[in-house]
Amino acid sequence: MRLVKLIANLGYGSRKDIQKAIKNGWVTDRDGTALKADSPTAHEDILFDDEPLDPAPGMVLLLNKPLGYTCSTKDQGRLVYDLLPDRFRMRKPVLSTIGRLDKETSGALLFTDDGTFLHKVISPKSEVPKVYEVTLDRPMTGTEAEIFSSGEMMLEGETKPLKPAQLDVIGKSRARVILNEGRYHQVRRMFAAVGNHVTELARIQIGGLTLGGLAEGDWRLLDESGKASIFDVQTSE
């Protein structure tokens, strides 16, 4: 791929912008030699304004989503994309969230520009578990774990029972829930169905991938090991 198209597709600017950057000597190799539009240089050896280029298509990143942000590119108010570099919105292929967290849910949120990878993560065949920590309005009754794990629980307005879900009590009104599917507002609706109300909800793990100390509002790129850990069905205690 020509240098201009490569850098433009990474979101650094229009092709005209990149042509100007090359002309001004802002695009170099790691030795500081200015590159030309037809310079045959490996992606990892290209610097833009003295910084390495963002990863090529196939990028996957993990964000620790704060409360109050919407998983959208078009809604009003604060968007999860506001927490990422502006150029990430301009990437081609587009950078998309892998699933969603609602505005009032925090925690682990994945992004990728690899459609095949995205569909692998969300496919029911992959059975990637998601782990949530929940704070409730009232103490639990003690029957919730059995109901959630039964495989017979029905949500209002639906005709298919939920897959068995694991509930671990970590306090009178706090629990950890592990899901193997992702229906609309599922955790909130499950507790509503047993007469309780979720006041705080955070996703802390996707497959074997944890936040690993990632601060709220921060993000990190995943290497091949990180990507593979998503499909590790063992969830941490």
CA-based nearest residue to 169, from 196, 139, 198, 130: 139
pLDDT tens string 161-213? 999 999 999 999 999 999 999 999 999 999 999 999 999 999 999 999 999 99
Considering the domain boundaries, does residue 212 fall inside one?
A: no
C-beta separation of 183 from 161 below 8 A:
no
CATH number for the domain spanning 115: value is: 3.30.70.580
CATH number for the domain spanning 37: value is: 3.10.290
Considering the domain boundaries, does residue 211 fall inside one?
A: no
Considering the domain boundaries, does residue 10 fall inside one?
A: yes
Domain housing 102:
60-124
Q: Which two tokens stand for residue 82?
A: 């506001």
Q: What is the Rg, in whole angstroms, of the alpha carbon atoms belonging to the chain?
A: 22
Considering the domain boundaries, does residue 233 fall inside one?
A: no
Cα–Cα separations (whole angstroms), residue 134 to 101, 143, 188:
14, 16, 9
Q: Catalytic residues, which ones?
A: 102
Considering the domain boundaries, does residue 146 fall inside one?
A: yes
Q: If 0-12 CB within 10 Å is exposed, 13-18 middle and 19+ buried, where does residue 197 land?
A: exposed
Considering the domain boundaries, does residue 227 fall inside one?
A: no
pLDDT of residue 75: 80
Reported as type and span, the H/E element at residue 26 is none
Q: Which of 124, 145, 173 is at the close of a domain?
A: 124
Number of domains in the chain: 3
pLDDT tens string 45-72? 999 999 999 999 999 999 999 999 999 8
Residues 91 and 115 in one domain: yes
Q: Which two tokens stand for residue 194?
A: 């047993």
Considering the domain boundaries, does residue 217 fall inside one?
A: no
Among left, alpha and beta (phi > 0; psi -120 to 50; other), residue 56 is beta
Residues 48 and 64 in one domain: no
